[in-house]
């Protein structure tokens, strides 16, 4: 179990928000709200990686690119590849003038799995520091 009390308060807030975004993504998937579920998967992964980098470096990386955040964090190449697709969800789920992703409903389970894997990786890394 991750001891949040021994973490920087800012990093702790980011990881808690990441977990909430993940749970809300699952809730929206079950409710058939696929765009918001995809967006929240991206947000969960982004916030988890930012929590790790805040704890590691003491600063917030103000970017939304999961690939860049993953590389700086040291995440494995196979997961980086999956983050590439999840990064796109940040744009096409938010803006009506961007071509929507076809088969989004079918991608949500993969997005949830990727977000969960990032959360698990982040918590493991953070627990090593404590």
In a domain, 83, yes or no: yes
DSSP letters of 28-86?
A: HHHTT-HHHHHHHHHHHHHHHHHHHHHHHHSS------HHHHHHHHT--HHHHHHHHHH
**pTM for the whole structure:** 0.90
Residue 65 reports pLDDT greater than 90? yes
Tokens of 117: 């894997």
Q: Is residue 15 part of a domain?
A: yes
Band of pLDDT at residue 101, cut at 50, 70 and 90: confident
The tally of domains found in the chain comes to 1
What percent of the chain has pLDDT above 90? Answer: 74
> Is 123 a member of any domain?
yes
With respect to residue 91, please indicate whether it lies within any of the assigned structural domains: yes
Whether 1 has a pLDDT exceeding 50, the answer reads: no
Q: Is the pLDDT of residue 37 over 50?
A: yes
**Which domain range does residue 120 map to?**
8-129
CB 126 within 8 A of CB 54: no
User: For position 16, which CATH number holds?
Assistant: 1.20.120.330
| Contact call for residues 108 and 11 (beta carbons, < 8 A) | no
Inside any domain, residue 122: yes
Q: Give pLDDT, residue 6.
A: 54
Residue 1 in domain: no
């Amino acid at each position: 179990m991750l001891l949040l009390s021994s973490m920087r308060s800012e990093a702790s807030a980011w990881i808690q928000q990441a977990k909430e975004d993940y749970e809300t993504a699952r809730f929206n998937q079950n409710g058939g709200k696929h765009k918001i579920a995809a967006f929240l998967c991206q947000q969960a992964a982004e916030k988890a990686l930012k929590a790790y980098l805040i704890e590691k470096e003491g600063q917030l990386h103000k970017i939304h690119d999961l690939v860049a955040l993953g590389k700086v964090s040291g995440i494995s190449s196979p997961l980086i590849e999956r983050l590439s697709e999840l990064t796109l969800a940040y744009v096409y789920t938010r803006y009506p003038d961007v071509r929507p992703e076809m088969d989004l409903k079918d991608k949500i389970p993969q997005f949830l799995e990727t977000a969960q894997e990032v959360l698990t990786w982040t918590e493991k890394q953070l627990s090593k520091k404590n």
